[in-house]
Protein backbone atom coordinates (compact mmCIF):
# COMPACT_ATOMS: atom_id res chain seq x y z
CA UNK A 1 0.00 0.00 0.00
CA UNK A 2 1.02 3.64 -0.29
CA UNK A 3 1.37 3.92 3.48
CA UNK A 4 3.67 0.87 3.60
CA UNK A 5 5.87 2.36 0.87
CA UNK A 6 6.02 5.71 2.67
CA UNK A 7 7.05 4.03 5.93
CA UNK A 8 9.73 2.05 4.09
CA UNK A 9 10.84 5.29 2.32
CA UNK A 10 10.17 3.72 -1.06
CA UNK A 11 8.94 5.48 -4.19
CA UNK A 12 6.77 3.89 -6.89
CA UNK A 13 7.27 5.24 -10.40
CA UNK A 14 4.52 4.28 -12.85
CA UNK A 15 4.53 5.56 -16.41
CA UNK A 16 1.73 5.06 -18.92
CA UNK A 17 3.45 4.47 -22.26
CA UNK A 18 0.23 4.08 -24.23
CA UNK A 19 -3.20 2.48 -24.45
CA UNK A 20 -3.31 -0.41 -26.91
CA UNK A 21 -6.99 -1.21 -26.59
CA UNK A 22 -10.15 0.05 -24.91
CA UNK A 23 -13.28 -2.08 -25.22
CA UNK A 24 -16.72 -1.75 -23.69
CA UNK A 25 -17.28 -5.03 -21.89
CA UNK A 26 -21.04 -4.77 -21.43
CA UNK A 27 -23.69 -2.26 -20.49
CA UNK A 28 -26.35 -2.69 -17.85
CA UNK A 29 -29.07 -0.74 -16.12
CA UNK A 30 -29.77 -0.80 -12.39
CA UNK A 31 -32.94 1.21 -12.13
CA UNK A 32 -32.13 4.56 -13.72
CA UNK A 33 -28.36 4.08 -13.37
CA UNK A 34 -26.51 3.04 -16.51
CA UNK A 35 -23.23 1.20 -15.89
CA UNK A 36 -20.58 0.55 -18.51
CA UNK A 37 -17.43 -1.43 -17.69
CA UNK A 38 -14.50 -0.71 -20.02
CA UNK A 39 -11.47 -2.99 -20.45
CA UNK A 40 -8.21 -1.11 -21.03
CA UNK A 41 -5.04 -2.85 -22.19
CA UNK A 42 -2.06 -0.54 -21.81
CA UNK A 43 1.71 -0.52 -21.90
CA UNK A 44 3.29 0.73 -18.67
CA UNK A 45 6.60 0.96 -16.87
CA UNK A 46 6.71 0.17 -13.12
CA UNK A 47 9.69 0.60 -10.80
CA UNK A 48 9.86 0.69 -7.00
CA UNK A 49 12.94 2.43 -5.55
CA UNK A 50 14.33 2.67 -2.04
CA UNK A 51 15.38 5.95 -0.41
CA UNK A 52 18.80 5.81 -2.14
CA UNK A 53 17.13 5.48 -5.54
CA UNK A 54 18.03 1.82 -6.00
CA UNK A 55 15.34 -0.12 -7.86
CA UNK A 56 14.06 -2.87 -5.56
CA UNK A 57 11.14 -4.08 -7.69
CA UNK A 58 10.17 -3.76 -11.34
CA UNK A 59 12.38 -2.35 -14.10
CA UNK A 60 12.43 1.29 -15.25
CA UNK A 61 13.54 0.11 -18.71
CA UNK A 62 10.93 -2.62 -19.25
CA UNK A 63 7.48 -2.05 -20.71
CA UNK A 64 4.79 -4.38 -19.35
CA UNK A 65 1.24 -5.01 -20.56
CA UNK A 66 -1.43 -4.14 -17.98
CA UNK A 67 -5.15 -4.96 -18.15
CA UNK A 68 -7.54 -2.79 -16.16
CA UNK A 69 -11.32 -2.66 -15.89
CA UNK A 70 -12.95 0.70 -15.16
CA UNK A 71 -16.70 1.01 -14.53
CA UNK A 72 -18.47 4.24 -15.43
CA UNK A 73 -21.98 5.11 -14.24
CA UNK A 74 -24.57 7.71 -15.15
CA UNK A 75 -27.99 8.55 -13.75
CA UNK A 76 -30.14 8.61 -16.88
CA UNK A 77 -32.63 10.92 -15.14
CA UNK A 78 -29.96 13.57 -14.72
CA UNK A 79 -29.50 16.48 -17.11
CA UNK A 80 -25.78 16.37 -16.34
CA UNK A 81 -24.10 14.63 -19.31
CA UNK A 82 -21.04 13.58 -17.29
CA UNK A 83 -20.33 10.00 -16.26
CA UNK A 84 -18.65 9.01 -12.97
CA UNK A 85 -15.89 6.48 -12.47
CA UNK A 86 -17.33 4.12 -9.86
CA UNK A 87 -14.93 1.16 -9.77
CA UNK A 88 -11.51 0.03 -10.96
CA UNK A 89 -9.69 -3.28 -10.85
CA UNK A 90 -6.56 -4.69 -12.42
CA UNK A 91 -5.69 -8.17 -13.55
CA UNK A 92 -2.50 -9.26 -11.81
pLDDT tens column, 40-70: 999 999 999 999 999 999 999 999 999 999 9
Domain 2-91 architecture: Roll (3.10)
Domain boundaries, the chain: 2-91
- Burial class of residue 71, CB neighbours in 10 A (0-12, 13-18, 19+): middle
Average pLDDT over every residue of 63-81: 97
What 54-62 contacts at long range (C-beta under 8 Å, 24+ apart), as own/partner pairs, is 56/10, 60/13
Amino acid sequence: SIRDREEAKQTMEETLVGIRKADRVEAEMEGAIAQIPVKFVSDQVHALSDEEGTVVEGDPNKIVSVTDFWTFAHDTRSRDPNWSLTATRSLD
